[in-house]
Amino acid sequence: MAELLTPDLCVIGAGSGGLSVAAAAAAFGVPVVLVEKARMGGDCLNYGCVPSKALIAAAKHAKCVSEASQFGIRAGPPVIDFAAVHAHVHSVIAAIAPNDSVARFTGLGVRVLKGHARFTGPDTVAVGGEAEIKARRFVVATGSAPVVPPIPGLAEAPYLTNETIFDLTERPEHLVVIGGGAIGLELAQAFRRLGSAVTVIEAATPLGRDDPECAAIVLDSLRRDGVVIRAGQAVTAVTSQGRAGGKIAVAVKGEQGEETVTGSHLLVAVGRRPNVDDLGLDRAGIAYGRGGITVDKGLRTSNRRVYAIGDVAGGRQFTHLANYHAGLVIRNALFRLPVRVDERAFPAVTFTDPELAQVGVTEAEATQRGIAINVLRWPYHENDRAQTARETRGEIKVITDKRGRILGVTIVGAQAGELIATWTLAIARKLNIRAFVELTVAYPTLAEIGKRAALSAYSRSLTNPLVRCIIRVLRRFG
Pairing of strands 197-202, 174-178: parallel
Pairing of strands 110-114, 32-36: parallel
325 and 229 in a common domain: no
pLDDT tens series, the chain, 478 aa: 789 999 999 999 999 999 999 999 999 999 999 999 999 999 999 999 999 999 999 999 999 999 999 999 998 899 999 999 999 999 999 999 999 999 999 999 999 999 999 999 999 999 988 899 999 999 999 999 999 999 999 999 999 999 999 999 999 999 999 999 999 999 999 999 999 999 999 999 999 999 999 999 999 999 999 999 999 999 999 998 755 456 999 999 998 899 999 999 999 999 999 999 999 999 999 999 999 999 999 999 999 999 999 999 998 999 999 999 999 999 999 999 999 999 999 999 999 999 999 999 999 999 999 999 999 999 999 999 999 999 999 999 999 999 999 999 999 999 999 999 999 999 999 999 999 999 999 999 999 999 999 999 987 655 567 666 666 666 777 6
Confidence (pLDDT) at 476: 73
Where is the domain boundary, 335, 366, 386? 335
Whole-number Å distance between alpha carbons of 123 and 130: 17
Eight-class DSSP state of 403: T
Confidence (pLDDT) at 242: 56
Whether 214 and 232 have beta carbons less than 8 Å apart is answered as: no
Whether 81 and 115 have beta carbons less than 8 Å apart is answered as: no
Whether 96 and 46 have beta carbons less than 8 Å apart is answered as: no
Cα distances (Å, whole numbers) of residue 399 to 214, 394, 449: 14, 17, 15
Global pTM value: 0.94
Instruction: Evaluate the CA torsion angle 415, 379, 406, 433 in order and state its sign.
Output: positive
**Residue 140 belongs to some domain of the structure:** yes
Instruction: Evaluate the CA torsion angle 168, 248, 275, 231 in order and state its sign.
Output: positive
406 and 441 in a common domain: yes
Distance of CA 113 to the CA centre of its chain: 28
Whole-number Å distance between alpha carbons of 147 and 183: 12
- Classified as helix, coil or strand, 464 is coil
**Residue 474 belongs to some domain of the structure:** no
Residue 344's identity, in one-letter code, is R
Residue 452's identity, in one-letter code, is R
Where is the domain boundary, 218, 253, 271? 271
CB-count exposure of residue 324 (10 Å: 0-12, 13-18, 19+) = buried
296 and 400 in a common domain: no
Confidence (pLDDT) at 244: 46
Range of the domain at 312: 3-40+101-146+273-335
Residues 6 or more apart whose CB falls under 8 angstroms from that of 375 comprise: 363, 397, 398, 399
Kind plus residue range of the DSSP H or E element containing 23? helix 16-27
278 and 317 in a common domain: yes
264 and 241 in a common domain: yes
**Residue 89 belongs to some domain of the structure:** no
Confidence (pLDDT) at 477: 75
Whole-number Å distance between alpha carbons of 63 and 57: 10
Whether 410 and 355 have beta carbons less than 8 Å apart is answered as: no
258 and 280 in a common domain: no
